[in-house]
Amino acid sequence: MVSQGDFEGKTIVVTGAGGGLGSAIVALMAERGGRIVGCDQSAEALTSPYIASCHVFNLLDRTSIEAAISSLLDKDGVPDILVNNAGWTRAETLKALTPDRMEQELDLNLAGVMSFADPLVKAMAARGSGSVVFISSV
């Protein structure tokens, strides 16, 4: 059971922080003492008063991901917790799942997520501590 202060002094990176599930994660972690680093594809999505630091990038753009990682580590340091919540599907039915759409969704939900997570996980490992959560809401 999570209680008040469980994340006190912890820096928590939440991707997809501006969406419905992301906003709930941000609020929950912040209410329990975490310092929230919110990440999303638009600055307009990152308006929660619980977010201490914002980073905007596109999981389909490797250059954007690399810049965000560099900025995040410089500005916020190595996180204690990484919550990979970003992702989506546009193929609502099997009929809608074309080869092009499938490739784009794999690029976003697998390759993009891992491209963002990998350097942060390595930084946590080098430090000797950290936790990573992958959420699939697609």
What's the pTM value of the predicted model, to 2 decimals?
Answer: 0.90
In the chain, % of residues over pLDDT 70: 93
Cβ(65)–Cβ(108) under 8 Å? no
> CATH number of the domain that 116 lies in?
3.40.50.720
Domain that holds residue 120: 11-134
- Cα 37 to chain centroid distance, Å, stands at 9
Cβ(11)–Cβ(33) under 8 Å? no
**pLDDT tens digits for range 38-49:** 999 999 999 999
Whether 124 maps to a domain, the answer reads yes
Whether 1 maps to a domain, the answer reads no
pLDDT at 1 over 70: no
What confidence score (pLDDT) does residue 108 get?
87
What confidence score (pLDDT) does residue 91 get?
66
What confidence score (pLDDT) does residue 121 get?
97
pLDDT at 137 over 80: no
pLDDT at 60 over 70: yes
Whether 60 maps to a domain, the answer reads yes
C-alpha distance from residue 72 to each of 51, 91, 101, 138 (Å): 14, 32, 30, 26
